[in-house]
Amino acid sequence: MSTDLDSNAQRAPKIEFPCLYPIKIIGKAVDDFQERAVAVVERYTGTITPGLIKVQTSREKNYLSVTMTIAATGEEQLQSIFQELKKIESVKMVL
């Protein structure tokens, strides 16, 4: 027999906004990958200071991951960022 407590325990934790939120974008290591990814995110957040952006190249140098920590204001903002990032041809994954 299931209780309300059981179903609440299985739900994902709710994020309380505003909060600091890391976004990781992984894609092909093309010349403008980082600039395009940062530009998309900054459309929704304003300027991101360089200290909040971490870039890592894959071992074979074929892929790049860009992690940006943003001040997230709500789920709509995050959904808009994720949807627009996924439209960039060289983007393979957004986490």
- H helices of the chain, in order, are 4-10, 33-45, 75-86
Give the count of domains, the chain.
Answer: 1
Does some domain include residue 81?
yes
- 77 within a domain of the structure (yes/no): yes
Is the C-alpha dihedral spanning 14, 17, 22, 25 positive or negative? positive
pLDDT of residue 12: 59
Q: What is the pLDDT of residues 27-58, one digit of tens each?
A: 999 999 999 999 999 999 999 999 999 999 99
The stretch 60-75 carries a mean pLDDT of 97
**Residue-number span of the structural domain to which 93 is assigned:** 35-95
| In-domain check, residue 49 | yes
Question: pLDDT band at 14, cuts 50/70/90?
Answer: confident
Output the pLDDT for position 11. Answer: 64
72 in a domain, yes or no? yes
**How much of the chain exceeds pLDDT 90, in percent?**
84
Q: What CA–CA distance (Å, rounded) separates 6 from 54? A: 38
Is residue 95 in some structural domain? yes
Residue 95, pLDDT above cutoff 50: yes
